[in-house]
Structure 1
Amino acid sequence: MALIHRTTVTPTKLELLAAWLPTRPWYEGGAGAPELAKAGGFRLDDPEGEVGIEFMVVADDSGPRPAAYLVPLTYRSAPLPGAGHALVGTMEHGVLGKRWAYDGCHDPVLVAQLLALVEGRVQAQAQSLSDTPDHDITRSCSRADLPSTATATDDEDGTELLLPDGTALRLHRLPLPGTEAPEGAVGHVAGVREAPDGTRVPVVFATLRPGP
């Protein structure tokens, strides 16, 4: 299980994301800098214990209407070869030292664990507590033996992880309202995000759809 350290991170994760989010095709903010606040999320464990895996939800009030974004991140102690395009930034961790933060959709460790979550082979973990399952995260999957690799592509609707067998896992960068898989899906991941007034809103984070 991942150990959550109570320490400082410089720059903060929200500061890194404020610079990175406007570069994404699915970002809906205005011309100014994002105005970000943490709005939920969860973690997954790396079986090797080397890579931090976090699914952050951040609220942004800078655009024409409030938005909440799903941002899967990985944290590494050294650069990930061939993933320079997916680097969100670097930060100094008070316990672990320098960390490289990546858009986790392009990190094979996160992708493999996310697919394992969809299948029900791993348990989501609380975002800010060590060794604590997050039972708000639910999932479904009518498929068995999903491949453990995928190619990520961003578009205006989010990020698609295309599996070698043609199956596609769509990450809803702006999570969908509700708890159930949309019509035609063969799997999904759902959870909650925090609204500005503190209420917990059920949302769908990812949808699995069959290939051709």
Structure 2
Amino acid sequence: MALLHRAELRPSKLELLVPWLPGRSWFAGEAGAEVTRVAAYRFDDPAGEVGVETLLVRAGDGPVLQVPLTYRGAPLAGADEHLVGVIEHSVLGRRWAYDACGDPVYPPLLAAAVLADAGQAEEYFEVDGKREVRPASMTLTGSRTGRPVPTGPVSAGPVDSGGTVVRVGEVELAVVRQPVPADVPAAGGLTGTWPGQDEPVLLAYAR
């Protein structure tokens, strides 16, 4: 489960993406345009230290873009090239936001979603000592391949116009940066739907 905070963020996550997105090879849309949120989903960091959130956004009137992010309470050593920016969080303090594809916490969580249909984290607020669940903004469906979820070395692979490759052990996973409806590969995939997008789009797949 993902504990959320009713907090002020400076800059906001979407504001942070405005200057960052146009520098990506997979970017499509109007550079400098307002970035709007379409939907989002989260994974749980087993250690409870890193926020792991994937935003589906648009820049201006551009297509939907998939942006997995991680949020950390301190800089991640050796990951400067993956830094999206720094956010001042009114509850948690300074948070470093990274392209999740370059953060070692993310690939194993994605592998579990793709290969074992691990799903997304339930989000909730603490209100007067009670949990107030926030409804999910989208639905995720993974494959149940029967393959064990890999462990082992994690790395980010090549980036092209269509997506980003991450590796966990011997498994390669492709993160689709401009998700559209597509067949799920036999090796396993992760699809999503949200209000206004009833046909599942392919978010990630094993290859």
CA distance, structure 1, for counterparts of residue 150 and residue 59 of structure 2: 34
| CA distances 1:139-173 after superposition (whole Å, capped 9, x unpaired) | 004351242344222111111123442x4211110
Contact 1:11 1:92 in 2 (8 A): yes
Aligned to 2:197: 200
| Higher strand content, 1 or 2 | 2
TM-score (norm 1): 0.83
CA distance, structure 2, for counterparts of residue 128 and residue 23 of structure 1: 33
Q: CA deviation at 1:128?
A: 7.1
Which ranges in structure 2 are unaligned for 5 or more consecutive residues? 126-131
Pairwise CA RMSD: 2.3
1:89–1:49 CA distance, 2 compared to 1 (3 A):
same
Aligned to 1:69: 65
2:107 pairs with 1:111:
yes
Which of 165, 170, 174 is the equivalent residue of 1:170? 174
1:25–1:6 CA distance, 2 compared to 1 (3 A):
same
Q: CA deviation at 1:205?
A: 0.4
Task: Please give the residue correspondences for 1:45-194 in structure 2 after superposition, counting only pairs within 5 Å.
Answer: 45-61=44-60, 66-120=62-116, 122-126=118-122, 134=136, 136-142=139-145, 144-148=147-151, 149-152=153-156, 153-165=158-170, 167-178=171-182, 180-182=183-185, 185-193=186-194
Which ranges in structure 1 are unaligned for 5 or more consecutive residues? none
TM-score (norm 2): 0.85
CA distance, structure 2, for counterparts of residue 173 and residue 113 of structure 1: 17
Contact 1:172 1:204 in 2 (8 A): yes
1:16–1:77 CA distance, 2 compared to 1 (3 A):
same
Seq. identity, %? 40
